[in-house]
Structure 1
Amino acid sequence: MFDGHHLLDIVHKSNASGMDLIRDEEFESKSGTDIMEAPSGDDQDPSNNQRSKKKRYHRHTQHQIQEMEAFFKECPHPDDKQRKDLGRRLGLVPLQVKFWFQNKRTQMKSQHERNENSQLRAENEKLRVENIRYKEALSNAACPNCGGPAAIGEMSFDEQHLRIENVRLREEIDRISGIAAKYVSKPMLPYSNGISRSLDIGFGNFGPQPGLVGGDLYGGNDLLKSVSGGSGPTEADKPMIIELAVAAMEEVIRMAQAGEPLWIPSPDNSTEILSEDDYSQTFPRGIGPKPLGLKSEASRESAVVIMNHVNLVEILMDVNQWTSVFSGIVSRAATLEVLSTGVAGNYNGALQVMTAEFQVPSPLVPTRENYFVRYCKQHTDGTWAVVDVSLDTLRPSTMTRCRRRPSGCLIQELPNGYSKVIWVEHAEVDDRAVHTIYRPLVDSGLAFGAKRWVAMLGRQCERLASALANNIPAGDVGVITTPEGRKSMLKLAERMVMSFCTGVGASTAHTWTTLSGSGADDVRVMTRKSMDDPGRPPGIVLSAATSFWLPVPPKRVFDFLRDENSRSEWDILSNGGLVQEMAHIANGRDPGNSVSLLRVNSANSSQSNMLILQESCIDATCSYVIYAPVDIVAMNVVLNGGDPDYVALLPSGFAILPDGPTHHGGGIPEAGGSLLTVAFQILVDSVPTAKLSLGSVATVNSLIKCTVERIKSAVGGETA
């Protein structure tokens, strides 16, 4: 730590030299700016030497000074020719012009140095104050081992600060270990090998511990205080949540790495099945016995994705990014409380209490709502693990429809920015309310299972890589090559997809009303009022959705719906007009993953030159074709890199799933049948306070039924 007074001496010396320079400058300015007239013959006489000292000066006019000031701004160092031209124009000799510019440059230099001196003085004062504060802090520092005073030269200030923080953390760990011992009826463990395992959130060897999990803790122990639906855990709950998270971490890692007999191949070797008997023997504690009426679902899937492990961990631990990337599965999510933010500037050791609602893109499949803790840990081999485990037993609800057993993923770093992901999903659910046509898919575990999570993650990683790509070939017609335009259009399409996904499922945040049709599938409708959302047109929005089965493979249905050439066969609003693709952005390796801007050239003048933003995406478990009419002026702003948040969208579209696991291999299913959900959002009144008319409902009902019939007629006649 240098002495601030030494710097102050330097500044004083600099000031002194600066003052000398100013005095010289003033002398030079006077002798140069006001040029002395040439002496007469009498003045040259030695006898008149006294009179020669009385110099007469020529003062510049205001016009001459203004002209030279203006020229100085353009050229501070004029050459001989420029000085002669300027002097001729202003009625000055070149020597006068030369002296004026010299003095002006000296004046500017001294002014600049004065400003620098002022800044140095201010910085010196700041350093002097900090120096005093650091010396006082070090003089009062205590040794963390003996508690006595620490010599100033023994350690840096940063090291001293870290040691004091470690002492504080050790005291906090001891305090929490005491609380844990009180509530889980186990002896208090010393810091070195006990509860520190829980707060450091390490990965150790956990054997059965009576009274911890699966015993009285989940059997209605009156020491547990219930958590209300929207609030976080109580102080008494937190030690048990920590213990539960650590045990869940060990369970997920072992389930991700184990083979037979825990995981056994299915009869057709297309997937793995968890042996419940072996599971109950391997993990006897768990989170308590399975409640009556619930059945188990377990699945495991691995894949290599084009994203580094740091970004993957950040996506999983940031609830907004997690909801955005998995918008097809996560309809709603929130972080209720952060128990730990992690250490070392990352999420290592982070603990979050969360709620989330998981969905299938259809109003015919009830959502699954969970209250759980999410825990992230980096292990000694460099592998990251992010695990969830249900806390539903801490809530006041007496009936649980879904309970999340330890689930999550392991992330292993690979070269070139890739990562290997092993995903484990394990839940206990009551799925009796699932519609008949979706039951085979849900029973197989593919609707909410690990394969769907991994497939969606892989596709979204490709989408993010496409958004960041800079080497876009400019040869193809309609390809958006400017990074700003690509980024804005992809951001707008992402918002469109999220809006569609959150509005098409059976979320508890929405209330669907069933309209029974004659001879057609049931249509479900709901209304929303949009007032202050800049991304939605103001007024009453009517959403209508229906799901039905087609004896056609999902890939064929997807290709038919995304092709602009076949759009007139099902899109009633295009009125048979020609649909042309104006621009597109590739969104992955599959050609079906893209964002397009379509123009509808309709004979109807009111729809002439209408633009449609469309995103199509497909993976091994699900595919979407989502679109929304957009304003031409607004899209021009977006294509030029403008802010897309204020473009109003009402997305409609299709969600396509396989009808079961029969032909569900490793790739995109090209056999079997399809489960197709059709959904529309229409602005029925621009006044938010208006009441919905029965005529509007009938119109939307007819629109969606007519669209369904057209699709069935076009592709439904073929057999699988």
Structure 2
Amino acid sequence: MFHWPLNLKQRSSEFRTEASRDSSVVIMNSITLVDAFVDAHKWMELFPSIVARAKCVQVISQGVSGTNGCLQLMYAELHMLSPLVPTREAYFLRYCQQQNVEDETYWAIVDFPLDGFHNSLQTSFPLYKRRPSGCLILDMPNGYSRVTWVEHAEIEEKPIHQIFSHFVHSGMAFGANRWLAVLERQCERVASLMATNIPDIGVIPSPEARKNLMRLSQRMIRTFCVNISSCSGQVWTAVPDSTDDTVRITTRKVSEAGQPNGLILCAVSTTWLPYPHHQVFDLLRDERRRAQLEVLSNGNALHEVAHIANGSHPGNCISLLRINVSSNSSQHVDLMLQESCTNKSGSLVVYSTVDVDSVQLAMSGEDPSCIPLLPLGFFITPMELVNDGGCKDEANGHNITTGSLLTVGLQVLASTIPSAKINLSSIAAINNHLCTTVQQISSALSSNCIGSCNEGDNGKEK
């Protein structure tokens, strides 16, 4: 779709080419979409689970009539939500143009490489070259747009942990289908944010308070995504003797607003589960079922006091939950902010404890950036496993087992002193908590599966 001559002399067997294309209809008009692509901050907000960092380095051409003809030098760091997958950093040129094709008006957003323009710009390894990529946007009735997306890149061949190897090499991690799936979901969320006629359940006093709570939840999601990936040069350490060598830990010294100040310990693991992605998502997003997992609930029940639906799928929502513990009183109430979201490429369930004063501050319209959030959560992706058992795929002769990859991210405030040193007991404790979490989730899914099978068998007997 976007032709660009490749310098074949610079290519080698150490580079792998990725190319994909997809198309979909999203609930956002073309002008709003274009504005999000040319504004680096809005672009990051639109793709929190893909774009870790982005900035406009230089505006080369302002364009005419707004963004038409705009040319920018961009920088981006793309991530997967796991420290096991290296991020991809690149400088590239982004061009935006409105054009007529067969009596229809399209917007074209095209990213192309810097070859021959800025040879002095260097990024970290593995080397990532963003070849001609982007999207065509066609306005449709009622504020919708048809988006055709093309991803084309060359990536230096580097070892990737085997649990994510197929996911990355198949293009599911950074391909056009994932970009579009996330865009569809985020456009629904933005439409919900701007709507005024959506009934909500609970204690939210006004449409403006609803917007503010949604913005706070968006920051929670973005914080979680950034904190569990390998972006910004975060150094992760493997935990010895972890199952399949998938547990990684890191520490961060935090002194700015928005997160608890001190030394934060973060642990992340990824596990393949022989259950469909939607089944794992449904278990983890339901606070009543999750409360049955002792390691995640500490034996405390959760009661939903506010609910914001922000998508067509019932799992796309924000909940404000009251933690029912004996220490709660009229003077002190523990709350939990939770957002769950799902699309065909994967799902997120993220939550963080907040106090009542912080929630009231956010809903009153005050700046919520100072509210400390330390989110925990889950990232679930569909992932079929090729093996000797399971259902046979007649197209290629392989045996396929339907399953999913579950990434669990936990964070704790290890010390209120940023300069403190982490001790081995804290590492052992969070690693044990992580392993127990995965075990209890797997057991709960297994029990549900057995229960469903038994019900099915009983139904057949009848």
TM-score (norm 2): 0.87
Of 133, 139, 158, the residue aligned with 1:413 is 139
* Distance change >3 Å, CA 522–CA 485, structure 1 → 2: same
Give the aligned partner of residue 373 of structure 2.
649
Alpha-carbon deviation of 1:314? 0.5
Alpha-carbon deviation of 1:507? 2.0
Give the aligned partner of residue 217 of structure 2.
493
Give the aligned partner of residue 545 of structure 1.
268
Of 319, 324, 328, the residue aligned with 1:601 is 324
* Distance change >3 Å, CA 377–CA 363, structure 1 → 2: same
Contact 1:357 1:369 in 2 (8 A): yes
Contact 1:478 1:584 in 2 (8 A): yes
Distance 1:504 1:519 in 2: 19
Alpha-carbon deviation of 1:711? 1.2
Of 652, 655, 677, the residue aligned with 2:407 is 677
Contact 1:392 1:403 in 2 (8 A): no
Distance 2:412 2:239 in 1: 17
* Distance change >3 Å, CA 660–CA 426, structure 1 → 2: farther
1:348 equivalenced with 2:72 (yes/no): no
Contact 1:333 1:357 in 2 (8 A): yes
- AA aligned to 1:321 is K
Contact 1:574 1:602 in 2 (8 A): no
Give the aligned partner of residue 189 of structure 2.
463
Give the aligned partner of residue 218 of structure 1.
none
Q: Deviations over 1:365-421 (max 9, x none)?
A: 111111211111111342110111122672466976322110000011112111110
Alpha-carbon deviation of 1:609? 4.0
Of 21, 32, 39, the residue aligned with 1:318 is 39
Q: Deviations over 1:176-203 (max 9, x none)?
A: xxxxxxxxxxxxxxxxxxxxxxxxxxxx
1:32-51 map, 5 Å: none
1:106-255 map, 5 Å: 251-252=1-2
Of 408, 414, 430, the residue aligned with 1:700 is 430
Alpha-carbon deviation of 1:443? 2.1
Q: Deviations over 1:338-388 (max 9, x none)?
A: 1112112x1111111112111111111111111211111111342110111
Of 328, 336, 345, the residue aligned with 2:57 is 336
Give the aligned partner of residue 507 of structure 1.
231
Contact 2:88 2:126 in 1 (8 A): no
Alpha-carbon deviation of 1:690? 2.2
Contact 1:392 1:400 in 2 (8 A): no
Distance 1:323 1:383 in 2: 23
Contact 2:238 2:245 in 1 (8 A): no
Give the aligned partner of residue 527 of structure 1.
251
Alpha-carbon deviation of 1:574? 2.5
Alpha-carbon deviation of 1:518? 5.3
Q: Deviations over 1:472-495 (max 9, x none)?
A: 236xx4274611111110010000
1:617-628 map, 5 Å: 617-628=341-352
Distance 2:121 2:41 in 1: 27
Alpha-carbon deviation of 1:506? 2.0
Distance 2:314 2:374 in 1: 25
Give the aligned partner of residue 91 of structure 2.
371
TM-score (norm 1): 0.57
1:361 equivalenced with 2:81 (yes/no): yes
Q: Quick check: which has more Rg, 1 or 2?
A: 1
Question: SS of 1:424's equivalent?
Answer: strand
Structure 1: 5+ residue stretches without partners: 1-250, 255-282, 665-670
Of 170, 174, 178, the residue aligned with 1:452 is 178
Question: SS of 2:231's equivalent?
Answer: coil
* Bigger proportion of residues as strand: 2
Contact 2:296 2:437 in 1 (8 A): no
Give the aligned partner of residue 582 of structure 1.
305
Distance 2:249 2:141 in 1: 49
1:562 equivalenced with 2:285 (yes/no): yes
Distance 2:161 2:301 in 1: 38
- AA aligned to 1:575 is N
Question: SS of 1:380's equivalent?
Answer: strand
Contact 1:358 1:368 in 2 (8 A): yes
Structure 2: 5+ residue stretches without partners: 394-400, 454-462
* Distance change >3 Å, CA 578–CA 392, structure 1 → 2: farther
Contact 2:385 2:403 in 1 (8 A): no
Contact 2:126 2:158 in 1 (8 A): no
- AA aligned to 1:682 is V
- AA aligned to 1:685 is S
Question: SS of 2:129's equivalent?
Answer: strand
Q: Larger relative CO (CA 8 A, sep 6+): 1 or 2?
A: 2
Alpha-carbon deviation of 1:508? 4.8
Give the aligned partner of residue 659 of structure 1.
383
* Distance change >3 Å, CA 452–CA 373, structure 1 → 2: same
1:690 equivalenced with 2:414 (yes/no): no
* Distance change >3 Å, CA 379–CA 287, structure 1 → 2: farther
Q: Deviations over 1:25-68 (max 9, x none)?
A: xxxxxxxxxxxxxxxxxxxxxxxxxxxxxxxxxxxxxxxxxxxx
Distance 2:115 2:402 in 1: 37
Distance 1:609 1:374 in 2: 48
* Distance change >3 Å, CA 319–CA 578, structure 1 → 2: same
Give the aligned partner of residue 356 of structure 2.
632
Contact 1:355 1:369 in 2 (8 A): yes
Alpha-carbon deviation of 1:603? 4.3
* Distance change >3 Å, CA 467–CA 481, structure 1 → 2: farther
Distance 2:294 2:179 in 1: 31
Question: SS of 1:451's equivalent?
Answer: helix
1:572 equivalenced with 2:273 (yes/no): no
Contact 1:319 1:335 in 2 (8 A): yes
* Distance change >3 Å, CA 660–CA 378, structure 1 → 2: farther
Equivalenced residues, count? 430
